[in-house]
Structure 1
Amino acid sequence: MNFDLLALNPIALNLGGLEIHWYGVIIAMGALIGVIMAMREAKKRHLDPDNILDLVLYGVPIALVGARLYYVIFELPYYLANPSEIIKIWHGGIAIYGGLIAAFIVLLVLCKKRNISPWLMLDIAAPSVLLGQIVGRWGNFMNQEAFGAKTTLNFLQSLHLPHFIVEQMYINGAYRQPTFLYESVGNLIGLALILILRNRKYLLKRGEVFLTYLIWYPAVRFFVEGMRTDSLYILPGVRVSQVLSLVLFFVAIGIFIYRRKNENDPWYNEL
C-alpha cells in the first residue's frame, strides 16, 4: 500500500492559480494569536499596545529576511552556484534562529527610539514568539518537513499518536520520527511554565521572562535538532543550531545569575 497517497494536501486553497499553502495559513494564525496575547500583556504592564503592532510591522518582514539570509549563508556553495534561488523562499529554506536574531535587532532599535525598556519589551514578546514556534511546527507537519530519521509504524503507534499524524510521517517511502511534534510539545510545556511563573508575584524580575525563554527554547531545540535529518552544518558532524543553542543556553543562565547579583531590577509582576 502506498501511504504517500494518504499525506495531507499542503495546499489550503487554489484561487485561480494562486495557491495558498497551509504552512502560511498556520503561521499567520500563530502570529495573530501571538500579537493579541502580547498586546494584552503590554496593556497590563502599562505599555502602549501600539508598540507591539509597530514591532510586528517592522519586525516580521526583517525577520523573514534574516531567516533566509541565515539559511543561505550556511548553504552558500549551492546558492553561489544558483543565485536566482536566493530570493525563492517559497522553495523552502528559512532558519528560525536567523529570524530571531533579526527581530531582536529591530526590537532594540525600536526601544531605543521610543525610550522603552528593552527588557520589558522582550519579556512581553517572548511568550508570543514561543507560541509562534509551537504553532509554526505544524506548518512543517503539513509540508512533511523538519522530520527525523527513519522509524517503524509500530514505534509511531506506541506513542498513541492520532492516525493522521502517523500517516503524514510516511515520507519518501519510510516512516519518520515526528521531530516537529517533539519540538512543538516541548515548547508548549515551556510556554505553560513561563505563563505560570510570570504571573506569580515576587518571583521573576524584569528581563527574566525573556531569559527563561532563552534557556528553555535552546534546550528543547538542542535535543530535537540532534534527531533531525535536514540540519545545517558549520563543520562535518557539527550542527549550527545545536552550537547556537548551547551558546544561548549558557549565556542566558550567566546573564540571569549576574543580574540577580548585581542589578536591582523591579519585579516583573509588580510593574
Structure 2
Amino acid sequence: MEEGIQPLDPIAISLGPIQVHWYGVIIGTAIALGLYIAIKESTRRGLDKDLFTDLMLWAIPIAILSARAYYVLFEWEYYSRYPGEIIAIWNGGLAIHGALIGSVITAYVFTKKKKVSFWKIADIAAPSIILGQAIGRWGNFMNQEAHGGEVSRAFLENLYLPEFIINQMYIDGTYYHPTFLYESIWNLLGFILLMLLRRVNLRRGELFLTYVIWYSIGRFFVEGMRTDSLMLTETLRMAQTISVALIVLAVSLLIYRRVKGYSNVRYLDNQG
C-alpha cells in the first residue's frame, strides 16, 4: 500500500463484541429517508398515512432476504463451502435486482389485500427507491466493493474526486474505477428526474416504469465496468441481462397500458 494511505474503517461503532458496520448504517439511512419521502407523498395523494409504514414492515425484510438469496444463489460455489457466511450481510452481498423482485411481489400482494392501486403505490415509491439506491451504493464504497477495473491515481485525480474517495479506491496495491460512484450519481439524477416528472402528471404507472427504464440503462453500462459481477454464463453478466429484460418489459407495459386504456388515470388524480 502506498505510504500514508489507509482504507476507511468499515466499522461505525464498536461496543464490546457488538459491531455496527457502516454498510448497515448507510442502508438503514437510505431506507429511512426513502420511507419518509414516500409517506409524505402518499399523504399528499390522499392515502392513509400508515399505509406505507404497514407496507414497509413487510417489504423491507422480504427485500433484504430476497436480495441476499439472489446473491447467494449466483455465488453458490463459494457459499456452499462457507455456509456460515450466508447470513453475513454486513460484509455486502445484497443484490438490488433480488430486492426489487421481492419488494414488487410484496407490494402487489399488499395492495390487492388493501384494495389500493398497485400502480399508484409504485409511482409514489419510485423516487424513494432510486434515492435509496443512490445512497446505498456508499455502503459498497465503505466495504471497498462494487468497483471497476484498474486505473491510475492520475486518472482518478483527473475526475476531480475528493481525496477520501481516491484513497478508498486504492485496494491491495491498485487503484480501481469508482463504479459505485458512477451508479450513485446516475441514480441521484434519476431521483431528480422523477421528482420533476411528478409535476408533469404522467399517466398512472408511467413514473414507476420510467424509474425501471432509467435505472436499468445506467446499471447496464456501469455493470460492464465492474469486476465482481454475478455471471449468468462465463461471458454473460446477470445484471446486464436483467437490465435489458427490464427495459423491454417496461417499454412494452407502457405501450400496452396506453393501448388498452389501463393508464388513463393520471398521477395527480386522487382515484383509488
TM-score with structure 1 length normalisation?
0.95
- Aligned ranges 1:103-142 → 2 under 5 Å: 103-142=103-142
Matched with 1:246 is 244
1:221 aligns with 2:219: yes
Given that residues 4 and 171 in structure 1 are in contact (C-alpha distance below 8 angstroms), is that contact kept between their aligned partners in structure 2?
no
Matched with 2:268 is 269
Structure 1 residue 11 displacement after superposition: 1.0
Matched with 2:37 is 37
Given that residues 4 and 170 in structure 1 are in contact (C-alpha distance below 8 angstroms), is that contact kept between their aligned partners in structure 2?
no
Q: Work out the number of aligned pairs and report it.
A: 269
What percentage of aligned pairs have identical amino acids?
50
SS of alignment partner, residue 200 of structure 2: coil
Q: What one-letter code is carried by the residue in structure 1 that aligns with 2:267?
A: Y
Q: Distance in 1 between matches of 2:12 and 2:90?
A: 15
Matched with 2:234 is 236
Structure 1 residue 56 displacement after superposition: 1.0
Q: What one-letter code is carried by the residue in structure 2 that aligns with 1:125?
A: A
Moved more, 121-130 or 72-81: 72-81
Structure 1 residue 5 displacement after superposition: 4.1
Q: Distance in 2 between matches of 1:125 and 1:240?
A: 25
Moved more, 6-15 or 107-116: 6-15
Q: What one-letter code is carried by the residue in structure 2 that aligns with 1:51?
A: L
Given that residues 169 and 176 in structure 1 are in contact (C-alpha distance below 8 angstroms), is that contact kept between their aligned partners in structure 2?
yes
* RMSD value, Cα: 1.4
Pair 1:220–1:69, CA change in 2 (3 A): same
Ranges in structure 2 where 5+ consecutive residues have no aligned partner: none
Moved over 6 A (4+): none
Ranges in structure 1 where 5+ consecutive residues have no aligned partner: none
Q: Distance in 1 between matches of 2:170 and 2:141?
A: 11
Matched with 1:51 is 51
Q: Distance in 2 between matches of 1:83 and 1:104?
A: 28
SS of alignment partner, residue 144 of structure 1: coil
Structure 1 residue 23 displacement after superposition: 1.2
Structure 1 residue 91 displacement after superposition: 4.1
Structure 1 residue 258 displacement after superposition: 1.7
Pair 1:220–1:23, CA change in 2 (3 A): same
Q: Distance in 1 between matches of 2:138 and 2:84?
A: 29
Structure 1 residue 220 displacement after superposition: 0.6
1:258 aligns with 2:259: no
Structure 1 residue 130 displacement after superposition: 0.6
- Aligned ranges 1:175-214 → 2 under 5 Å: 175-201=175-201, 204-214=202-212
Given that residues 3 and 167 in structure 1 are in contact (C-alpha distance below 8 angstroms), is that contact kept between their aligned partners in structure 2?
no
Given that residues 21 and 90 in structure 2 are in contact (C-alpha distance below 8 angstroms), is that contact kept between their aligned partners in structure 1?
no
Pair 1:143–1:84, CA change in 2 (3 A): closer
Pair 1:4–1:225, CA change in 2 (3 A): farther
Matched with 2:146 is 146
Once the two structures are superposed, residues 239-262 of structure 1 have per-residue CA deviations (whole angstroms, 9 ceiling, x without a partner) of 000000000011101111121222
Q: Distance in 2 between matches of 1:105 and 1:67?
A: 13
Pair 1:3–1:124, CA change in 2 (3 A): farther
Q: Distance in 1 between matches of 2:188 and 2:82?
A: 38
Pair 1:22–1:81, CA change in 2 (3 A): closer
Q: Distance in 2 between matches of 1:11 and 1:253?
A: 42
